[in-house]
């Protein structure tokens, strides 16, 4: 366990380092076969082979009725706190990355803060869709480096099953629910080495959920819409650029990467990025097959899986990458 650092006016460098990870998936696991059977009842044709070939997804988890984003976040938060040897009372910053909040306001982070039994510290949401966790981690890193926080809870949590159009086989088979969390603490030991955040609103329409609440009712379409080919083409290009930029900032090269943990959206995008960075399959962390695209939750979910199964050890250098609606993207290079 890393001890808290003295106040920010102390001498020497100040870094932010991950001291614990956690994740949570809802109990209901829906295999491709089960989902295909449900879609067949709606006269929507697809197959397990079609889904696996195009995405690499074999199953996903859906939250039960009444379970909201903060409920999933709470379980992941507890696991991360336990792994870090911390309690909720140690937290002085809570950031939740989500596109499926409990309500319009207050933020899911504030609701989670109440469920954790703490109060007083800053708590807010970050909305950058599937790049949300990378955005949130970068914000927490900046606040720790400037002395605004010492022990941050950073979470990606989603209930995407609530915004899917089950008449659209090109999107409804892709997404799932879940949460992943990290505890990020001030440290004398380098942790986050560099980050890169980008956005291009010109591409807002290729991945969006265009509904809103107005006049006491839903206005527009509240279900997810995606131009798959356009997203694929853009994602592959921007992820490579983000990776190379963040490596350059840190003075590192592709050979310095021990593991690539990309947003778990599509196995073909992930493999293409790894190939461009000259990384073998053994350096690519893949969990999309078991939980589908969980948007902001997917990177911390994959990180926690690889930490707990022993692949990722202290001292390993990790490249995290996310890309999502907005269009948003980014990368973080860190030493675990």
Residue 80 near residue 181 (C-beta atoms within 8 A) = yes
- d(CA 97, CA 296) in angstroms, rounded, equals 6
Coil, strand or helix: which one is 110? helix
- d(CA 250, CA 253) in angstroms, rounded, equals 9
263 is catalytic: yes
Catalytic pick among 61, 110, 203, 293: 293
Rounded to the nearest angstrom, the gap between the alpha carbon of residue 202 and the centroid of all alpha carbons in its chain is 23
Here the tokens at position 42 are: 């709606």
What 8-state DSSP symbol labels residue 227? -
Catalytic pick among 32, 263, 266, 291: 263
Coil, strand or helix: which one is 226? strand
What 8-state DSSP symbol labels residue 203? G
Query: Mutual orientation of helices 69-84 and 298-308 as an angle, nearest 10°?
Result: 30
β-sheet bridge partners, residue 182: 21, 154
The secondary element (H helix, E strand) that includes residue 118 is: none
- d(CA 66, CA 28) in angstroms, rounded, equals 13
Here the tokens at position 192 are: 């986050």
Catalytic pick among 69, 110, 130, 172: 130
Rounded to the nearest angstrom, the gap between the alpha carbon of residue 95 and the centroid of all alpha carbons in its chain is 12
- d(CA 214, CA 175) in angstroms, rounded, equals 27
Catalytic residues: 130, 263, 293
């Amino acid at each position: 366990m890393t001890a808290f650092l003295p106040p920010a006016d102390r001498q020497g460098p100040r870094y932010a380092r991950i001291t614990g990870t956690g994740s949570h998936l809802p109990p209901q696991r829906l295999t491709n076969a089960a989902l295909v059977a449900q879609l067949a009842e709606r006269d929507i044709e697809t197959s397990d082979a079609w889904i696996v070939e195009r995405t690499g997804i074999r199953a996903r988890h859906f939250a039960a009725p009444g379970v909201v984003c903060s409920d999933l976040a709470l379980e992941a938060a507890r696991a991360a706190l336990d792994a870090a040897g911390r309690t909720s009372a140690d937290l002085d910053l809570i950031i939740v990355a989500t596109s499926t909040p409990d309500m319009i306001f207050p933020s899911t982070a504030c609701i989670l803060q109440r469920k954790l039994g703490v109060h007083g510290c800053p708590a807010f949401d970050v909305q950058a869709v599937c790049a949300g966790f990378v955005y949130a981690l970068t914000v927490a890193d900046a606040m720790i480096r400037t002395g605004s926080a010492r022990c941050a809870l950073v979470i990606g949590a989603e209930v995407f099953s609530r915004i899917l159009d089950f008449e659209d086989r090109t999107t409804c088979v892709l997404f799932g629910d879940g949460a992943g969390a990290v505890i990020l603490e001030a440290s004398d030991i380098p942790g986050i080495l560099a980050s890169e955040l980008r956005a291009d609103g010109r591409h807002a329409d290729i991945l969006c959920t265009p509904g809103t609440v107005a006049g006491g009712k839903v206005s527009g379409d509240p279900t997810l819409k995606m131009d798959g080919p356009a997203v694929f083409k853009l994602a592959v290009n921007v992820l490579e650029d983000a990776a190379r930029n963040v490596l350059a900032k840190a003075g590192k090269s592709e050979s310095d990467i021990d593991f690539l943990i990309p947003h778990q959206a599509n196995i073909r995008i992930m493999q293409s990025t790894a190939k461009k960075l000259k990384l073998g399959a053994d350096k690519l962390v893949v969990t999309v097959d078991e939980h589908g695209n969980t948007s902001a939750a997917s990177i911390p979910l994959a990180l926690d899986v690889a930490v707990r199964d022993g692949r990722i050890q202290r001292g390993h250098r990790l490249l995290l990458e996310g890309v999502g609606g907005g269009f948003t993207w980014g990368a973080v290079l860190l030493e675990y």
